[in-house]
Structure 1
Amino acid sequence: MAAKVLHFLSLTFFLIHFSTAFIPQDNYLINCGSSINTLVDENRHFTGDSSENGSSYLSKGKSISLTNPIPSLNSSVLYSTARVFISVSSYKFNIKNVGFHLVRLHFSPFSSPDYDLKNANFVVSANGNSLLCNFSAHFTMLKEFILMVNKEELEILLMPTRDSNFAYVNAIEVFSAPKDFIIDEGMTLISPTGIQDFKQNISSKILETVHRINVGGSKLTPFNDTLGRNWIPDEDFLVLKSAAKIATTIHPPNYQPGGATREIAPDNVYMTAQQMNIDNRPSNFMFNITWDFPVRSEDSLHFVRLHFCDIVSIALQTLYFNVYINGKNGVQRS
């Protein structure tokens, strides 16, 4: 039975500059449709799947390499080629480190004499679990998933639907997640009916990243992140911008044993924050900072991770506040 995708929202509230590189035991970076190896972000080596080494990951399904006849000077070199699948096909990766893995699928449609990738419609699964269903991309998209791999092989399968008869992908990333990246214990379920302990095993779910927010800070690119992630500013999600005031520090966080690490979020994330702008507070006491994040489905569960590092207080244990999620008090007196 396919695992249900659980959407992942990471809010970096008081957050990584480029630091000591995380070296995953499993690390596959594939430049699909390319015959050459490519260096991206100065430290990430993508292997062309048409090269001698890269072709070993492809199954025997019918596919072709496609090159963008009019590549954009502003887009990644990864998006100048694509692997087009005419039938059910897959990539297979040997897994040394059983556990949570990150899977990133890059899609950037372009037109060629034979194929207009915007017309592709297909299904993507990982070891039989659905990742994307009846998927089409009309602009450049990165789909990121976090999933438990409990076998010695991960198969990413692409299956064209009858609507288009072909599928494609521009690049694939598969690598081991850091230790304690996702922890089953201690999660709370917030629903319209109330708050309770989340009793399901998160390891049985597939997490799809929806938003990854650097609160109070600028955009962080894969170059600034040991896991190659993108973090976007929170400004566009603030309901009332005047209620918040940016706080920053030049001092990197002092990570404590058992707490966050640079792999959970980079230093730059913890070095900025939004604090309540008391100079603009209204006369009533219901003063708060609110973020509003769009989600695609009201029926889906969403995993919300909040990152905290106190760079505001002038002394320890003097700052207390509550966190509400959809009107429910999810975190009390933090």
Structure 2
Amino acid sequence: MTADATPALAASQPDAVRKPGRRPGRAGPSSGVPLVDAAALRTGDRTARTALGRRIVAAFEESGGMRVINHGIAPTLADGAFAAARRFFAQPPDRLEALGTNRWGRGFLALRTNRKPGYAPDVREAFDLGLDIPADDPRVLAGKPLHAPNHWPDDPTFRHAVEGYFQAVRDFGAALQDSLALGLGLPEDRFRPLYRTPLSTMRLLHYPNPDGTPAPGEFAMAPHTDFGAYTFLLQDATGGLEHEGADGAWHALDPIDGSLLVFLGDLMAWWSGGRFKALRHRVVGVPGRARVSIPVFYNPDFDAELAWPTAPDGEAAGTRASMACGSYILAQARDRAALLAG
């Protein structure tokens, strides 16, 4: 769907939302990342959506992230995506290797193939996918960056489960953008032209049960901020995810049943002229437990020119010159690659 269509979020039915509650034996939410009830996204009440938008703005200004409940993504879709991920990573190594990344970077990534500057390689494996654009599409034939077909396993149930969840999260992102616009004092549809074909990717992540004491500089996933605008993260009950607080210390982001984590990345911090923050985070291994998480990276169109809008009252929310979304993300990737090479 396009971002200017009505988001196909799940209706307010018992199966579409879970009551917030802590997993047994888990710590509560980090005090630095607020819990936000997004039920207003699915109502026709503009006043409620505006109030929600203001809470979102405050969360992005203060921490660069939030925990969202009542987001409208059906639990059956989330559970299906988790089940598909677990089945995928349980395959024999030779079958996983056969699904290694295609020439466009879509597919399986083995343990310790991803590294962040200043750290040892991450102790996790992944399966990367994005908007599935056929190999004979003119954009792919022309070599347009970040436009590619996926490298699907033969199992059709895997693709069905993964694509269903991926679409639901993109629908949530479209609705979130509308509410954010209202919270900024802008027309509700202000961001829609920038998200007609969102530059969205999805990653299934598997962190094996830690084997012994980590080596110096080794993490399940090393500290970093994400490249893009938004990260929508679904995590299992294992724990291990942490964020860096304003105090410079690391704080647990233990899972809350039925919640979705929303992080801002570097693009949103740049786009807003520093008004919003990119949330720095990491994953530490939990002894005796493997971990699965599913981030969706939600960005504007590749060619969308990003200049932060000015609110109706004349307050400039950002001061940076415009830049195409794809150009920004590619520049970020090149910069980090250069740091690794150096």
TM-score, normalised to structure 1, is 0.28
**Greater helix fraction, Structure 1 or Structure 2:** 2
**Which one has a bigger Cα radius of gyration?**
1
TM-score, normalised to structure 2, is 0.27
